[in-house]
A and B are shown apart, each in its own frame.
Chain A
Amino acid sequence: MYKPTIGLEIHIQLMTETKIFCGCSTEFARVPNTNICPVCIGLPGALPVLNEKVVEYGVKLGIALKASINRFSSFYRKNYFYPDLPKGYQITQYAIPIAKGGYLEIGPAHQNRAGSQKKKIRIEKAHIEEDSGKSIHMGDITESEFSLIDFNRSGIPLLEIVTLPDIETPDEAYDFLILLRSIVRYIGVSMGDMEKGAMRCDVNISVSKDETMGTKVEIKNLNSFRSVKRALEYEIERQIGALKKGERIVQETRHFDEKEDTTKPMRTKEELNDYRYFPEPDLPPLVISDEFIENIKNTIPELPNTKEERYIKEFEISSDYARTIAYHPKLAEYFENIVKYVGIKMAKDVANFIMVDLSAYLNETKKEIDKIDFTKEKFKELLDLIDNKTISRNIAKEVINESLRTGKTPSEIVSKKGCTQITDEDGIKKLVIEVLNENETQVKQYLSGETKVIGFLVGQTMKKSKGKANPELVNRILYNELENLRK
């Protein structure tokens, strides 16, 4: 049995207002080379000045990862030539990073998935560095007649997180990444979108039959969470296949091909890089006080994995719903706000309505949950209408929908539409008798022992009532009437 060993290197763009070493805006600019200055395009004589907000965000994420924050860390220069690296070196932390150790606990959702119990993925270190500019090639890099460089990205702050090789399956890698994305959003340090490059991930993977480590392969160009998973799945298969054939795994960097869902050796020649790291003489060591750390600690909210567990335990909602809500900061806030107002007992219902009906509306309208007007008061009204059997759950869905679109309260909608549930037994009895008369075949089937057909008859009755009849009453009355017929 071959076992994969996986480690991740994740770059997270920190969403500070200004760049890491200058005052340029980090905001996305459509026009290339507009958010630039002498510092971030490496003009002669320019010097870096560390943005304190970057330190704050780095510490914040470090704390969220339960890492220990180094009171003293320093910057180095990583020297290499590339056109989008304006100074010819990247300023990065090297010998002493801002945070070391720590872990993220993945699970416990998807319990039906093999190997998805809670598991600690240890963090080796997290360090601050600057992003490079962006090279733009005309088509493929090897065929492009020329290349253009946009330095708007140059100097955007990054936090690089390196995990220990604790990950054993592509699913674990996926779970780790979506949890990390959720965390950076909760603590407000990054957008966390892989698709937009706010979070970038390289993976290291090897497979081995025994305790000795296999040969490590690095995979780059992973632009989505799905890509990470697919690349790992492919690579595990490829490596095991090769080993079974008695081939050796080459230590190399591979490129993920999104279209083919495969990994390929990088076409560029792998040169042995000597980055000639040395301490950055333009920046003094970074000294962080206990007070600074304490102040930041107090700003860290409950994190998504804790929330997820709590939702499952306290609210008894399904693990899938618990994760989806808990991992989405605004959804979770909305959810908790409603539950607090309507009571824990209703949490399950609230989760269902959010996940099914509100989500559908949000998806359709591309709105964010905090931009809609379905308040806790409205939610309570809706739940009360169901509770006192004024409306059925089916009707409730319509009511939510209309309320979202028109802003009217559920009771307004219900009274106006007359969609109040039919709860008077005589009315329903009338409908039932009509249905029984119209469906003699099914009645016979029932009487001959095929009692399952009662479902069909319930459906017919509901249809006749245009969905307004209370299903429980329909059920009871139908049963009584049928049994009467038997006599």
Chain B
Amino acid sequence: MEITELTVKEIVEKIKKKEIGVKETVLAYLKNIEDKDNNIKAFLSINNEEALIKAEELDKENEKNGQIFGIPVAIKDNINVYGTETTAGSKILKGYISPYDATVVKKIKEQNGITIGKTNCDEFAMGSSTENSAFFNTKNPVNTDYVPGGSSGGSAASVAANEAAAAFGSDTGGSIREPAGFCGIVGLKPTYGRVSRYGLIAFGSSLDVIGPLAKNVEDAAILTNVIAGFDHKDETTANLPVENYTDFLKRGIKGKKLGVIKEINDFKIQDEVSITLKEAINKLEIQGCEIEEVSIPHLKYALPTYYLVAPSEASSNLSRFDGVRYGLQGCGDNLRDFYEDTRTKGFGREVKRRILIGTFALSEGYFDEYYLKASKVRRLIAMDFEKAFEKVDALILPTTATTAFKFNEKKNPLEMYMSDIFTIPMNLAGIPAISIPFGKDNKGLPIGIQIVGKWFEEGEIFQISYALEQSKES
């Protein structure tokens, strides 16, 4: 078996046993990138020189310490990596070299992971197909006629194409889970506040979370171990102890109560997805899970709520891209013209659309009606989940209503927004959710199943999703 086909866990074991070298590993991935990425286009930039230097250093170490020792990981381009170009998929940051590491990157480096490159994404993580990248489209490695999902499409594709052993992305409304689902890999959106956002270029600050994309649940658990925890640089991180997530995997799920959300039937779901969900539920029941129907009455308001909260925050977060200190600089005879030129040239259509929506929703006279009302509905949605979790340990639902779509298939923004109806509610509530591949549709496109847990109970969803993953093989 090729190194690049191995899991994170397997590679670390082999390196620690000195069966393979770190440099050998990195070279294997770089070779794969060279061979495939002209077609897949997962990466915006490759960090090959630095990666090889680091690999040589690690090979010299006698003590092979670190949970991801020598693992080449891909980083979504909206996460700052010191000394590398960090664009967030936007022209406005083309050529911007970050002067610092995001806390997550710092933690990856502390565990001796190797950042092999920066992956393509929808501009400022706004999108569900990576088609909103200012640079190019990324293809779905499963079938290159299809989108990889988004916004962490590059990260998902890099793992699915074995161009990286694992990757990190960000999830504001489904941006890890949806591409993981489309590309047939595992993706976790941790609880809001479990992972530091310091160094993640903000989109919707109250929704954004960094999480792993990996080949399987165990790898996702290892990567979550690496990045989770309180950060004094991010006041929204929780000062709660981090459990060892890999400990949960093999505990079994006998007696676990799993909720099925009644209201998802109000949405149009692709037949094969519905069938696959039933199969998954069936597999879990066989293993001793109890299934119960629960209600999230405000589910149908999640999408409109999200499209007020997220753009409002985004409109403010993106104000710093003004051409004054860094990034693309426009021109103009006066300040106003200068700003206008910079931002007209620098931002793409979708980003502009959301800035407009957000600016409007926060405007005097509209704030109460839009932003404030959305914040209240958001609270109601969170309370719905709270209530559901009084009855069950976790929830199960599809990651998306359909499998991956083709390029240019969703021309209407609203249609595109609909791709996230099953992932957005968890961001609004701040709860953790994992997408794992379970079956394929008749076109051979992967179907993602989502397990949703209580706040800070990532362990629980690793436990259940691991059981589900194992049941596939049985």
Contact = CB atoms under 8 A, between A and B. Distances in A.
Interface of A: 38, 41-50, 77, 79, 81-83, 86-89, 149, 274, 276-278, 281-284
A88 B322 contact: yes
Given A88-B320, A278-B367, A47 B233 contact: yes
B235 A44 contact: no
B245 interface: no
A89 B319 CA distance: 7
A82 B315 CA distance: 15
A293 B234 CA distance: 25
Given A45-B199, A77-B316, A278-B362, A83 B235 contact: no
Contacts of A45: 78-80, 86, 98, 102, 198-202
A46 B100 CA distance: 10
B316 A49 contact: no
14 contacts: A42-B320, A43-B100, A77-B316, A82-B335, A83-B322, A274-B363, A276-B364, A278-B367, A281-B205, A281-B206, A281-B236, A281-B313, A282-B234, A283-B235
B334 to A, nearest CB: 11
B304 interface: no
Nearest to B312: A278
A284 B206 contact: no
B201 A89 contact: no
Interface in B69-97: 78-80, 86, 88, 93, 96
A284 B200 CA distance: 18
Contacts of A86: 320, 324-325
B320 A44 contact: yes
Contact of B99 (A38, A79, A81, A284): A38
B206 A47 contact: no
Interface of B: 78-80, 86, 88, 93, 96, 98-100, 102, 197-202, 204-206, 232-236, 312-313, 315-316, 318-322, 324-326, 335, 339, 359, 362-364, 367, 371
Q: Is the interface of A mostly helix, strand, loop or mixed?
A: loop
A282 B235 contact: yes
Contacts of A281: 204-206, 236, 313
Nearest to A271: B336
B99 A43 contact: yes
Contact of A44 (B86, B335, B364): B86
A43 B317 CA distance: 11
A128 to B, nearest CB: 15
Contacts of B99: 38, 43
Contacts of B363: 274, 276
Given A45-B198, A276-B362, A276-B363, A282 B236 contact: yes
B84 to A, nearest CB: 13
Contacts of A83: 322, 324, 335
Nearest to B86: A44
B365 to A, nearest CB: 9
B158 to A, nearest CB: 21
Given A79-B319, A86-B320, A89-B316, A276 B359 contact: yes
Given A38-B100, A44-B86, A45-B80, A87 B197 contact: no
Nearest to A38: B100
A49 B367 CA distance: 26
B235 A47 contact: yes
B45 to A, nearest CB: 16
B259 to A, nearest CB: 29
Contact of A42 (B325, B339, B362): B325
Contacts of A284: 235-236
Contacts of B339: 81
Contacts of A49: 232-235
Contacts of B324: 83, 86, 149
B316 A79 contact: yes
A276 B316 contact: yes
Contacts of B319: 79, 81, 87-89
Contacts of B199: 45-46
A282 B205 contact: yes
B326 A43 contact: yes
A45 B82 CA distance: 12
A23 to B, nearest CB: 10
Contacts of B100: 38, 43
Contacts of A82: 335
A278 B318 CA distance: 15
A89 B312 CA distance: 13
A44 B88 contact: yes
A44 B80 contact: yes
Give the top 6 A-B pairs by smallest Cβ distance, nearest first.
A88-B319, A276-B362, A281-B205, A281-B206, A44-B201, A45-B199
A274 B359 CA distance: 10
A276 B98 CA distance: 29
Contacts of B318: 88
Contact of A79 (B102, B198, B362): B362
A45 B202 CA distance: 6
B435 to A, nearest CB: 25
Contacts of A81: 319, 322, 335, 339
A223 to B, nearest CB: 24
Nearest to B362: A276
Contacts of A41: 325
